[in-house]
Amino acid sequence: MTKKFNLEQAYYLFLLIRESEEKIIDLYSTDKIKSPVHLSIGQEAIAVGVSMALRQEDVIFSNYRGHAHYLAREANLDKMWAELYGKSRGTARGKGGSMHLNDASKNFMPTSAIVSTSVPEAVGYAYALKYKMEPGVVICYHGDGATEEGVFWESLNFASLHNLPIIFICENNEYAIYTHQNKRTLGDPIVDRANSFGVNSCKVKGNETEDFYNITIDCLNKIKKKSNPYLIECMTTRWKDHVGVGDGIDLNYRDHKEINRALENDDLKNLEKQLSEKIVSKIKLRVQEEIKQAVIFAESGKFPNSKELHENVYG
């Protein structure tokens, strides 16, 4: 596979995520989104780079910080917004909310709000793809905190034992809520530990979209030749609070320099610099219009009827 990195598309997806999250921040005080949100701002480059490398047949497992993964997969923006508003036009007719998005048409599986809990599901899906001799590869997004759960390593062991077609995308933003990784585990262990399970692993620093794209393409090519699990530890920075729309700066749980460095290295600006002004303004207009329409779609939709409370408990 020699698919070239599409700069315009990367910028569009990145901006769509950034602006969509910013819109949530703008509207949050209205309390129209009556649920927790775990914003992806600062971490968009991973989702954009990875998603642009994927093909239709690939399958995505994500988590409660999943807006970027969802939008980068070009899943339905209108439905995501309707879901945030709890409307029946939403991805789960309002029963899921921000933490439980899904879009079957994009192979974007329902996300979980419990750390590491959808990791074995991703592995099981990869087992099924191999079982049915289908061509897809599973992408399993998770955070650094997920690697502290026992189930994570159980899952890697099984993926390795059965040579499953899966790429674990570890988004390492170094914080579990406000607790730094160095208070939770010794050293810098994720890649070494994953390698020791027979999962080929590497670390990518710099938080740049094109790097994440290239490494994903590389892994997909290797899997195409021989089915095996891979892990990419993607170093990144969460700009906002763990949950909600604040930045948490006044909590002083981390050095302000960390955030400032990340803001200076914003890959959205780097992508923008490489495009002509004309293209940038065209994409900005497109993104603004799409988000405007999505908010209208959400606001104008109906809430589900009371009878829906009892629907879809069983099938």
Partner 1 sequence: MDNTLDKKLINYGEAIYEATYQEMAINDNVFTYGLGVDDPKGHYGTTKNLHRDFGNKRCFDTPLSEDSLTGIGIGAALAGLRPIYVHQRMDFLLLCMNQLVNMAAKIRYMSSGEHTVPLVVRAAIGRSWGQGAQHSQALHSYFMHIPGIKVIAPTTPHDAKGALIASIRDNNPVIFVEHRMLYKNAGYVPSESYEVPFGKGRILREGNDITIVGVSHTVEDSLRAAELLKDVGVNAEIIDPISLSPIDYDLIRKSVDKTKKLLVVDNGWSTCGFSSEIITDVAINCSNIRCERMGFANTPCPTTPSLEKDFYPNPRTIAVTANNMCDGDSKWNPPEVTQQEITSFKGPF
Closer CB to partner 1, residue 146 or residue 271? 146
- Member of 11, 125, 141, 175 binding partner 1 (CB under 8 A): 125
Is residue 187 involved in binding partner 1 (CB under 8 A)? Answer: no
Any idea which residue has 């070239």 for tokens? 4
Is residue 117 involved in binding partner 1 (CB under 8 A)? Answer: yes
| Strand ranges (E), the chain | 59-61, 138-143, 166-172, 175-176, 179-180, 200-204, 230-235
Closer CB to partner 1, residue 27 or residue 119? 119
- Member of 195, 281, 293, 312 binding partner 1 (CB under 8 A): 312
- 11, 111, 112, 153 from 103: Cα distances, Å: 22, 10, 14, 27
In angstroms, what is the minimal distance from the CB of 105 to partner 1?
10
**Who's near 51: CB < 8 A, 6+ residues apart?**
13, 60, 69, 72, 73, 74
The whole-angstrom separation of Cα 61 and Cα 51 is: 12
SS3 207: coil
Closer CB to partner 1, residue 5 or residue 158? 158
- 12, 101, 116, 145, 233 from 172: Cα distances, Å: 24, 21, 13, 8, 7
Closer CB to partner 1, residue 108 or residue 239? 108
Is residue 143 involved in binding partner 1 (CB under 8 A)? Answer: no
With CB under 8 A, what is the number of residues at the site for partner 1?
41
Strands 179-180 and 200-204: unpaired
Closer CB to partner 1, residue 7 or residue 113? 113
Is residue 303 involved in binding partner 1 (CB under 8 A)? Answer: no
In angstroms, what is the minimal distance from the CB of 205 to partner 1?
29
30-89 positions binding partner 1, by CB under 8 A: 59, 61
SS3 102: coil
Is residue 131 involved in binding partner 1 (CB under 8 A)? Answer: yes
Residue 76 phi, psi (nearest 5): -70, 115
Neighbouring C-beta atoms of residue 290, cutoff 10 Å: 16
Is residue 135 involved in binding partner 1 (CB under 8 A)? Answer: no
- Member of 129, 191, 199, 298 binding partner 1 (CB under 8 A): 129
Is residue 163 involved in binding partner 1 (CB under 8 A)? Answer: no
Contact 11, 33 (CB under 8 A): no
In angstroms, what is the minimal distance from the CB of 80 to partner 1?
14
- Member of 74, 148, 154, 290 binding partner 1 (CB under 8 A): 154
- Member of 118, 201, 207, 228 binding partner 1 (CB under 8 A): 118
The whole-angstrom separation of Cα 216 and Cα 46 is: 10
- Member of 155, 173, 181, 209 binding partner 1 (CB under 8 A): 155
In angstroms, what is the minimal distance from the CB of 124 to partner 1?
2
Is residue 198 involved in binding partner 1 (CB under 8 A)? Answer: no
- 73, 87, 98, 109, 245 from 95: Cα distances, Å: 22, 9, 10, 15, 22
Using a 10 angstrom Cβ sphere, with 0-12 exposed, 13-18 middle and 19 or more buried, the burial of residue 216 is buried
- What does the binding site for partner 1 look like in residue numbers (CB under 8 A)? 59, 61, 91-93, 95-96, 100, 102, 104, 109-110, 112, 114, 117-129, 131-132, 150-151, 154-155, 157-158, 161, 311-315
